[in-house]
């Protein structure tokens, strides 16, 4: 950080401190809280917000992890798609061969029956 950035950060921090002090003063006037009560309430609220922020960050991290897993699964499916298509094609061809084989066996069986009938007569 250079000197200018440090000065700007100090001004921002100083401005935030002034805003916090002004808010505390107004709360004390309107609600009747004393300075200690305001500090406790302020820090409790900050602790709650920090806890909530950490929970949100955790959820965001988990969502990124799920997204990564889904992307990996999609990549694997895309890689395996040609293999699955080839298997499906092979199953269809095998089914067609089985049907042709059944028809050939039925035809041969019928021919044998006819030849047996003719030889008996």
User: Per residue in 13-58, pLDDT tens?
Assistant: 677 777 777 877 777 776 666 666 666 777 778 888 888 889 999 9
Look at residue 84 and tell me if it is in a domain. Answer: yes
For residue 110, what are its two tokens? Answer: 């019928």
Look at residue 1 and tell me if it is in a domain. Answer: no
Number of compact structural domains in the chain? 1
Look at residue 67 and tell me if it is in a domain. Answer: yes
Look at residue 13 and tell me if it is in a domain. Answer: no
Look at residue 107 and tell me if it is in a domain. Answer: yes
pLDDT category of residue 90 using cuts at 50, 70 and 90:
very high
pLDDT given at position 32: 66
Rg (CA), the chain: 40
Please count the other Cβ atoms lying within 10 Å of the Cβ belonging to residue 102.
Answer: 10
Domain span including residue 84: 34-120
pLDDT given at position 120: 59
Look at residue 20 and tell me if it is in a domain. Answer: no
Look at residue 64 and tell me if it is in a domain. Answer: yes
Look at residue 15 and tell me if it is in a domain. Answer: no
């Amino acid at each position: 950080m250079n000197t200018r950035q440090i000065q700007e950060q100090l001004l921002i921090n100083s401005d935030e401190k002034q805003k916090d002090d002004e808010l505390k003063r107004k709360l004390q006037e309107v609600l009747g809280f004393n300075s200690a009560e305001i500090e406790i309430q302020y820090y409790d609220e900050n602790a709650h917000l920090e806890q909530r922020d950490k929970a949100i960050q955790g959820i965001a991290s988990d969502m990124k992890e799920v997204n990564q897993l889904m992307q990996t699964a999609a990549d694997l499916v895309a890689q395996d798609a040609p293999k699955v298509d080839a298997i499906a094609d092979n199953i269809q061809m095998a089914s067609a061969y089985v049907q042709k084989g059944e028809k050939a066996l039925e035809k041969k069986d019928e021919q044998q029956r006819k030849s047996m009938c003719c030889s008996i007569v």
